[in-house]
Chains A and B, each alone.
Chain A
Amino acid sequence: MNTTESAQALAFVLLVIFLGYVLLIVIPFLRRRPNPEGDSDLLDFHVFIAARDEESVIGATIARLRSQFDRLHIWVIDDASLDATGRIVTEAMSTDPRLHLVSRRLPEARKGKGAALNAAFDTLRAWLPDDVDPTQVVVLVVDADGRLAPNALAQAAGPVAFGDPSTGAVQVAVWMSNRDDARPLPGQARWRNRLGSYLIRMQDIEFRTAIAAMQSLRGHTASVGLGGNGQFVRLSALIDIAGEYGAPWHGSLLEDYELGVHVMLTGHRTVYLHDTHVAQEALPSWRRLLIQRVRWCQGGMQCARYLGQIFRSPNFSNAGALEASYFLLMPYIQLVGVVLWPAVFVTMVAQGAVTVGSVGAWLLASWWLLPLVVVTGVVPFAVWPVIYRRQCAPQASWLRVFGWCLGYWLYMYQTYVCVVRAFWRLVTGRNGWAKTRRNAESTTLVTKEA
Chain B
Amino acid sequence: MAVPQHAVSIAPRRTVGLRGHPVLGLLLIVLAVVVIVQERAFRTVEATLMAPLLSAVLTGGAVPVDTAVMIGIGQSDVYRLAITSMCSTAVLFVPLLALAGLILLGPRFRLRRVFAGLGVGLMISLVANFGRYALAAWALETFGLEGFDVVHRWAGSLLVIFAFAFAFFVMLKIATGGGRQPAAKGPRRGIQPTDPA
Q: Which 8 A-B pairs have the closest CB atoms?
A: A20-B165, A318-B179, A166-B184, A318-B176, A163-B191, A319-B176, A267-B185, A165-B186
* Complex CA–CA separation, A20 to B168 (angstroms): 7
Q: Is the CB of B169 within 8 A of A317?
A: no
What chain B residues lie within 8 Å of A17 (beta carbons)?
95, 165, 168
B36 / chain A contacts, CB cutoff of 8 Å? 1, 6
DSSP majority for the A interface? helix
Contact residues of B between 58 and 113, Cβ < 8 Å to A: 85-86, 91, 94-95, 103, 106-109
How far is B32's CA from A13's CA once the two chains are assembled, in angstroms? 14
- Contact partner of B161 (CB less than 8 A), chosen from A19, A39, A135, A266, is A19
Q: Is A338 among interface residues, defined by CB-CB distance under 8 A?
A: no
Return chain B residues, CB-CB under 8 Å to A136: 189
**B44 — which chain A residues lie within 8 A by C-beta?**
none
If the complex has contacts A39-B194, A159-B193, are A318 and B184 also in contact, measured as CB distance less than 8 A?
no
Q: How far is the CA of A65 from the CA of B161 in the complex (A)?
A: 49
**Cα distance A43–B189 in the bound complex, in angstroms:** 11
Q: Mark A1-18, 1 if CB is under 8 A from B, else 0.
A: 100011011001101110
A399 within 8 A of B: no
Bound-state Cα–Cα, A386 to B158, Å:
22
Contacts of B192 in A (CB 8 A): 38-39, 159, 163
Is the pair A311, B194 in contact by a Cβ cutoff of 8 Å?
no
Contact A236 B186 (CB under 8 A): yes
Assuming the contacts A222-B182, A318-B108, asked whether A24 and B85 have C-beta atoms less than 8 A apart, the reply is no
A129 at the interface (CB under 8 A from B): no
Which residue of chain A has its CB nearest to the CB of B184? A166
Any B CB within 8 A of the CB of A191: no
The bracket for how many chain A residues form the interface is 35 or more
Which A residues contact B (CB, under 8 angstroms)?
Answer: 1, 5-6, 8-9, 12-13, 15-17, 19-20, 23-24, 36-39, 42-43, 135-136, 154, 157-159, 162-163, 165-166, 168, 222, 234, 236, 264, 266-269, 311-312, 314-322, 368-369, 371-372, 375-376
Q: Is the CB of A16 within 8 A of B191?
A: no
Q: Is the CB of A376 within 8 A of B176?
A: no
**Cross-chain contact B162 with A158 (CB below 8 angstroms):** no
B161 lies within 8 A of A267 (CB): no
Task: Tell me how far the C-beta of A236 lies from the nearest C-beta in chain B, rounded to whole angstroms.
Answer: 7
